[in-house]
Amino acid sequence: MKTDIQIAQEATMLDIRKIAEKIGASEDDIEMYGKSMAKLSDEFIDKLASKENGKLVLVTAINPTPAGEGKTTVTLGLGDALNKMNTNTVVAIREPSLGPCFGIKGGAAGGGYAQAVPMDKLNLHFTGDFHAITSANNLMCAMLDNHMLQGNALRIDPKRVVVKRCLDMNDRALRNITIGLGKRLDGVVREDHFCITVATEVMAILCLAEDLEDLKARLGRIIVAYNYDNEPVTAADLNCVGAMTVLLKDAIRPNLIQSLENNPVFVHGGPFANIAHGCNSVRATKLALKAADYVITEAGFGADLGAEKFLDIKCRMAGIKPDAVVLVATARALKYNGGIPKDELNQENVEALKKGIVNLGKHIENLKKYNVPVVVTINKFVADTDAEVATIKEFVESKGCRFAVSEVWAKGGEGGLELAEQVLAAIEEGSPNFKFLYDDSLSLKEKIETISREIYGADGVEYSPEANNALKKLEDLGFGNVPVCMAKTQYSLSDNQKLLGRPTGFNVNIREVYVSAGAGFVVAIAGQIMTMPGLPKSPAAERIDVLPSGEIVGLF
């Protein structure tokens, strides 16, 4: 069986100018990065501004398991399937982070015969967006430490610096460090921290900004520290916003590549969904809606994280709504939720599947709370039996949802035709009045508790003293009416990754709360969430290499 990278390397790609033509873009509307990648110009975005929006389809999934659900694979395969049906369809997804690529999770280009290409470039440096975000964030941090050294006119309290430096790599040794050691001119000695680039507020801002001016305004609102009077100090106070914007002026422009079947794919931005809001950029999604009749996009991790944040944060801020939601599951993952170990998942076990299917049921119930049509698809593996698929189909239809089997990993767009037909039918039926889970007018605690009870199924919420104090402070500062971005484990509906299936009888524990003032949301951290992941005992990096010919091997 061929690996993902082997399939991608054997692909016949069209010149990116040909792909641009499919969305109405001329050579003057793009900036090429070689023959297979391009950035779309602001002029092209303006050119399409008056066009009517297409239909938006969100792809999400049940809680991820070691078995893998294939959400991005289904997203790309569905896009290819719809194009096979002579629709004008564009896929809009996130950019991969280098950290997981060299760690354990893998990339974000799909898999098998449903991939975005060039897969190797996309999963590595791509068009440099993440490097620009890393540089802009670290410039802000350098300006802050320099300000404290050069007299500290803003009276910044070194013990109350809240912004972190970043690196797009899993490096746990940088989570907690001491900086400024050495001579006086080497800086103010203080404790500092690193997070991974995709967890930064700069990344979230880039993905929510409407244009360059909005980007600049949001960057200026980033709270970098508090002074000795407990007042916030912002990036604008450091006079670094103009320089940060210069570093990001190209990164804010959406990227264009193609699927294995030579259909347009927008890839732009990539905030983590268990830490940040987990969606591709507003600019890319809105541009796709102008450029196509149907847009297939995805949100990170399970529906309790990525989909909730897409619907309650991104849709709220961008003024968009999905016309249908596709919920991806696998028989293997449902059996895993039913208590079967990973090495036994290829064996038929209908009883375990029935036990674990409650996880799927909860996600269906959650999505219906937003009044959107839900299509459930099983990403089919070779070992899946007819009895298992029939059991899932019966369960899904009993919940009032459409059902389809997806075989896009093995068959590309052809394997997604059944799903495409169900999605079109769901859109044709029309969406009831879309609604958010909570109103802006609720207090921050009410928002946290609504998400915890309604989406996770918790009995209640417990707050650390630090979280309680932070919530009061943020409401006093005027941030009470913003959305809440919950940071918790992706592996469970609860904040305990070991609780599989559909946990009950638990409380969500909020240990830390802070505001991303530029992004426009408050982050509530539940449980032990690391903003800087670590590498596993045997990282993927051990198996990645490049041959004398320049061919990359081992990249999935």
Catalytic residues: 71, 73, 94, 105, 273, 301, 381, 409
- Using DSSP's 3-state secondary structure scheme, residue 501 falls into coil
Q: Nearest CA to 56 among 369, 297, 281?
A: 297
Joined together, the tokens standing for residue 313 give 């944060």
Rounded Cα distance between 455 and 301, Å, is: 14
Q: For the sheet containing 232-234, what is the strand order?
A: 156-161, 223-227, 232-234
How far apart CA 37 and CA 265 sit, in angstroms, is 10
Radius of gyration of the chain (CA): 23
Query: Judging by beta carbons within 10 Å of its beta carbon (0-12, 13-18, 19+), is residue 382 exposed, middle or buried?
Result: exposed
Q: Which of 338, 467, 445 is nearest to 395 (CA)?
A: 338
- Would you say the C-alpha torsion 21, 25, 28, 34 has a positive or negative sign? negative
For residue 306, the cross-strand partners are none
Q: Read out DSSP for 66-131?
A: TT---HHHHHHHHHHHHHHTT--EEEEEPPPPHHHHHSSS--SSEETTEEEESHHHHHTTTTSHHH
CB neighbourhood size of 131 (10 A): 16
Place of tokens 């809440």: 484
CA distance 423 to 1: 30
Rounded CA separation 541/440 (Å): 44
